[in-house]
Amino acid sequence: MKRISLALDDKLYREIENAMSMVGETNRSRFIASIVAEKISEIVQRPMASIIVYVYDHEVGEVAKNVTEVQHEFRDVIRASTHIHLDDRNCLEVVHALGDSDRIRELVTRISRIGRGLKHLRVVNIPQLAEG
């Protein structure tokens, strides 16, 4: 492990402290390292695992049909998905993806472009750990 020094403006420092408090983290180094690792996993091309969570209103346009079509186009990286009904109109889906980071980013982009009816989209990327 390497120890580094980091200079932050006061506002960003306060935002980090507030965010740590909100998630119950007490170790600043671990908190910042996890944010950096998450950002790197978004830009570096390599195998990764992702959880893609989105909520949509199935009554709006053809959003349900479009979601299904996108999932079928990305069968090569989608390993599983779950679908639950939040209420009479809104559905929540969790997609588990594993594969090339560029392909998974393409999947997320396609989901985000579904447009009307898509209410929330969150992604967690985890770089695949090397064995050993």
Q: For the chain, what are the domain ranges?
A: 10-43, 47-127
Nearest to 53 by CA among 87, 29, 82, 27: 82
pTM for this entry? 0.70
Predicted pLDDT of residue 82: 97
Looking at residue 39, its pLDDT comes to: 76
Superfamily per CATH, domain 47-127: ACT-like. Chain A, domain 2 (3.30.70.1150)
122/119 Cα distance (integer angstroms): 10
From first to last of its 132 residues, the chain has per-residue pLDDT tens of 788 888 989 999 999 999 989 889 888 988 898 888 777 766 666 788 999 999 999 999 899 999 999 999 999 999 999 999 999 999 999 999 999 988 999 999 999 998 889 999 999 888 776 554
- Write down the pLDDT at residue 130: 55
